[in-house]
Copies of this chain bind each other. A is one copy, B any other.
Amino acid sequence: MEQITSNQNTKVKLYQKLKKKRERDKQGLMILEGYHLIEEAFQNNLTIEYLFVLDVARVDQALIEASQATYEINMKVAETLAGTVTPQGIFAIVQKPTFEISTAKQVLILDRVQDPGNVGTLIRTADAAGLDMVIVSRGTADVFSDKVLRASQGSVFHIPVVVEEDVVHFVQNFNGPVYGTAIENAVSYHKIDKKQTSFALILGNEGEGMTKALLDATTQNVTIPIYGRAESLNVAIAAGILMFHLKG
C-alpha cells in the first residue's frame, strides 16, 4: 500500500481544498472523517475515490477493496487532515451522490435553513420518518459540510438529499399537497390529514421564514399551536412533529 508522509502530497492538498464548499461544489466531491461516516458511505455504495488510513489493521478489508485507492498516512498527515482535535485516523474523499427528484412522493424541503446542526437533525428526522427525499435550496447550510454530516448521524447516506436550484419549480410541479410553515392563512396541523401518501413540507430560514415565491406556491400553510409561553419551537422539532403527523 502506498504511503503518504508529506503534507505537500497532492492528495492531501486536494483534501484540504475540499474543506471549502466552493471546491466541493465544483468537483462534485465531499470529504469524510471517521469510521462511522465512511462506513455509512461505503454501505450505501458511494464511490470512495481516496481512502487515507493511519492504522491499516483497524480497517475493514472490504472497505479498502471498495476504495479506488487507499493510502497509509502518518500522524502528522492525520493531524493536517483532521477537522477534529482528536483525529480518528481515517479519512476519505468521496463522490457526492446524484438523484432523480421527479419520483419523490414524500419530501422535506429546506428553504435556506442556516444552522448546520438544524440541517443535520432535519435530515436525520426525515430519515426516521421514512420520507423519500430531502430537497435543499441554495442558501441552506452545505449538506456535505462536517457539521451537517455529524448532526445527521449518517442519515445523509440513507435518504436522498438533493440541492435544487429551482425549488419553486419543483413545488409547482409536485404531485400532492405542499405544506408551508408560515402563519399567513395557516391552519393548525391537527386539521391536516394524517397518513398521506404524497406530500411536501417546507421549512424556512430560522429568522426570516420562507421566501415569498415559495410561500405563493404552497397548497396550505400549517402551524403548531403554542400552548405555553415559548415564542416558537426549534425548527427541527416543529418539522419532527409535522413529519410524524403526515406519516401518521
Residues of A whose CB lies within 8 Å of any CB of B are 121, 124-131, 153-155, 158-159, 190, 224, 226-234, 236-238, 240-241, 244, 247-248
Contact = CB atoms under 8 A, between A and B. Distances in A.
A247 B233 CA distance: 15
Contact of A232 (B128, B230, B236): B128
Contact of A240 (B129, B130, B237): B237
B121 A228 contact: no
B228 A130 contact: yes
A230 B247 CA distance: 15
Contact of A230 (B128, B228, B231): B128
Given A224-B244, A236-B237, A241-B241, A124 B230 contact: yes
Q: How many copies does the complex hold?
A: 2
A45 B122 CA distance: 36
Given A125-B237, A155-B229, 18 more contacts: A121-B237, A124-B230, A124-B234, A125-B230, A125-B233, A127-B228, A128-B232, A131-B228, A153-B231, A154-B230, A158-B228, A159-B229, A224-B244, A234-B240, A236-B236, A236-B237, A237-B240, A238-B240
Contacts of A153: 230-231
